[in-house]
Amino acid sequence: MNSEEYIEVSVRLSPFSEDLSEILMAELSELPYDSFLTEAPFLKCYIQKELYSPQAMKVVLSAYPGLSFTANLVQGRNWNKQWEEEFRPITVDGVVTVKAPFNKDVPRTRFNIWIDPKMAFGTGYHHTTYMMMQAMLGLENAIKGHSVVDMGCGTAILAILAAKMGARKVFAVDIDAVAARSAWSNCRWNRVGTKVETACGDASLLQMGTYDVLLANIHRNIILEDLPTYKRSLRRGGHILLSGFYESDAPAICEAAGKLGLTVERTLERESWCCLQLTCCR
């Protein structure tokens, strides 16, 4: 799938609310909008041109009286320009730093990651990406010297961190062709290209191997659909880190995990978002 051309949908929130913008992001991500930008009073939502449906947007917004939207075609380079003007370095627990090529004089930490996102998701700003990195730091012994797969890799920020943490081999997968290309470029920029293999596709690609750690920062519905495939691709005693969903979604995911013989070992929460660490017991 080629997503060089995107539709930018600007939803006017009246009155503006961060809570409402996050609720809308969660609902619209299932259409599937894959990138968002908050510029009060607007929530700007990005979707591949071929997937855009004004009718679908109207159905979602019909539950929120008074909201209106406009739509415009944008090119990937417009997103890049916006991102370059606004991006600031991110530090996770004083151990991981995520920065852009144009950031200057940024103090070094143990793991330093350079990211150029193009139109792909994952700069570390979003709470889910941040928590996934936190959870990975707590699994260093499980990652070092072992195999890792990053499903829905986006910019490959998690795959890059796994490689820098000493993973033996990392497989980074995204269903979007632009994201897969961005992941490939970012891995080489971070000098981990020999460790990270990138591919464009879905969870069916997991049948190519088995893994010790699986990372999936994806939407709730995709996690529930693909969790059996994740489990089959995991070695006994392996770990799954999941995020991309709200705390309110965690019970359904934990229930599905339990039926598959996966045990919840750790839960992280950040501004109503959730991250789960699961272990394969059988």
For residue 29, the domain's CATH number is: 3.30.70.260
Low-confidence winner among 111-120, 227-236, 247-256 (lowest mean pLDDT): 111-120
Do 196 and 267 sit in the same domain of this protein?
Answer: yes
What's the structural domain count of the chain?
2
- Confidence check: pLDDT of 77 > 80: no
Give the C-alpha distances (Å, rounded to integers) separating 13 from 18, 34, 125: 10, 19, 22
Contact at 8 Å (CB) between 155 and 121? Answer: yes
Instruction: Give pTM, 2 decimals.
Output: 0.74
Handedness of CA 18, 117, 27, 240 (dihedral sign): negative
Do 11 and 137 sit in the same domain of this protein?
Answer: no
Answer with the residue of higher pLDDT: 18 or 143: 143
Instruction: Answer yes or no: is 91 within a domain.
Output: no
214 token code pair? 């699986």
Instruction: Answer yes or no: is 208 within a domain.
Output: yes
Do 179 and 265 sit in the same domain of this protein?
Answer: yes
Q: Could you list the residue range(s) of the whole structural domain that residue 31 is in?
A: 5-82
- Confidence check: pLDDT of 53 > 90: yes
Indicate the residue type of 79: W
pLDDT digits (tens, 9 = 90+) for 81-105: 555 556 678 899 999 999 877 777 7
pLDDT the model gives residue 119: 45
**Alpha carbons 55 and 52: distance in angstroms, whole number:** 9
Do 143 and 257 sit in the same domain of this protein?
Answer: yes
pLDDT the model gives residue 220: 87
- Confidence check: pLDDT of 125 > 80: no
Q: Which residues does 17 contact at the CB level (< 8 Å), separation at least 6? A: none
Confidence of residue 207 (pLDDT cuts 50, 70, 90): confident
DSSP 254-272: HHHHHHTTEEEEEEEEETT
Do 195 and 267 sit in the same domain of this protein?
Answer: yes
Instruction: Answer yes or no: is 186 within a domain.
Output: yes
pLDDT the model gives residue 1: 38
249 token code pair? 């979604």
Residue with tokens 């501004």: 271
Do 178 and 247 sit in the same domain of this protein?
Answer: yes
Instruction: Answer yes or no: is 218 within a domain.
Output: yes
Do 159 and 271 sit in the same domain of this protein?
Answer: yes
Do 136 and 77 sit in the same domain of this protein?
Answer: no
Do 190 and 64 sit in the same domain of this protein?
Answer: no
**Alpha carbons 193 and 275: distance in angstroms, whole number:** 27
